[in-house]
Amino acid sequence: MSQVTILDVSLRDGSHAVRHAFTEAQVRAAAKGLNAAGVRYFEVSHGDGLGGSSLQYGLSATDELKLIEAAASECTNSDVSVLLIPGIGTKQDLQNAVTAGAKMVRVATHVTEADVAAQHIQLGRELGLKTVGFLMMAHMAPVEKVVEQAKLFESYGAEVVYVTDSAGAMLPQDVTVRVEALRDALTCDIGFHAHNNLSMAMANTVAAVQAGATFIDGSMRALGAGAGNTQTEVMVSVLEKYGYATGIDLYKLLDVATDVIAPIMQQPQEITAGSLVLGHAGVYSSFLLHAQKAAQQFGVDERDILMTLGNMKAVGGQEDLIYEVAQQLQRA
């Protein structure tokens, strides 16, 4: 039976969905449940990674270092991961996260910009962390470019390289061709991160595993940006039915999803008009709430904002464009 490592992102990607308002008590309870269920890694930080708490990306209700420390204190089987986007998070932020208890770092860049991550990948290895390269918006580059950038991550010391469908824009064949290409080109492990904006997250996850990915992301109750991620508890069940070993106790995972995560959610995760357009236009999933806010402020349709951003090929880090586009649509 092939082994798949599940990484739960409810306490990081889910931060977008709850407007970065996690409390220490909520994080501690979720961490305790994930640890008991045998989830090997789970991620804790602002939705946009270390240092993301800002006016541009959204202010955190609780200092993320306190959340990391609370989560790490509950871990006996699991390890805490953090996300770091160079230009948002710094090397000092990573060192502080390690002091708080982080054991893994995932250094995330746009799919064509892996070269900005060399120093952060190298620092992760020096600090003794499980160190991962995270190629965001992977639908925006041809396969050859994805392979080129993945090779850069591996050359810097990444132990895992992720194909990341940040917009939830991929179809299973898009996932398969990218994962297979990385599997053929790299010696490190391959990971996959999905969003469900086109209702493809589970199908894409299965495609990734069948193509050779061994690290897979999910979030409990699908709590995440846009329409959310592959639902962790469902994914565990599906992968085990396919014959893959996850090492996770499904009943205990269901308990934490039901008793801890569900009460935190401001609304059930579903594919709304806005999240569907995210996937259709290929727009970064965390843009959804910003687009909704801008649409209300300027009296325009959030779908028009997102479609315009898609045509502009906007990427993460360009949140200021959302409000510019909304203002331009109002004038038009």
Residue ranges of the annotated binding site for substrate are 12-13, 166, 193, 284
CA–CA distance, 327 with 190 (Å, rounded to integer)? 41
Tokens of 157: 């010391």
- Which residue positions form the known binding site for Mn(2+)? 13, 193, 195
Q: Which of 252, 247, 249, 239 is nearest to 213 (CA)?
A: 239
**List of residues 6+ apart from 122 with CB closer than 8 A:** 156, 157
CA–CA distance, 98 with 196 (Å, rounded to integer)? 31
- Which residue positions form the known binding site? 12-13, 166, 193, 195, 284
CA–CA distance, 220 with 208 (Å, rounded to integer)? 19
Region class of 285: left (phi > 0), else alpha (psi between -120 and 50), else beta: alpha
List Cα–Cα distances, 14 to 8, 81, 201, 293, 323, in angstroms.
10, 14, 15, 18, 23
Select which of 16, 110, 120, 139 is catalytic: 16
Q: Which of 108, 24, 110 is nearest to 70 (CA)?
A: 24
**List of residues 6+ apart from 132 with CB closer than 8 A:** 81, 104, 105, 106, 107, 158, 159, 160, 161, 162, 191, 215
The secondary structure element, H or E, covering residue 293 is helix 287-298
- 16 catalytic per annotation: yes
Are the CB atoms for 174 and 211 separated by under 8 Å? no
CA–CA distance, 302 with 264 (Å, rounded to integer)? 25
DSSP code, position 170: -
Q: Which residues are catalytic?
A: 16
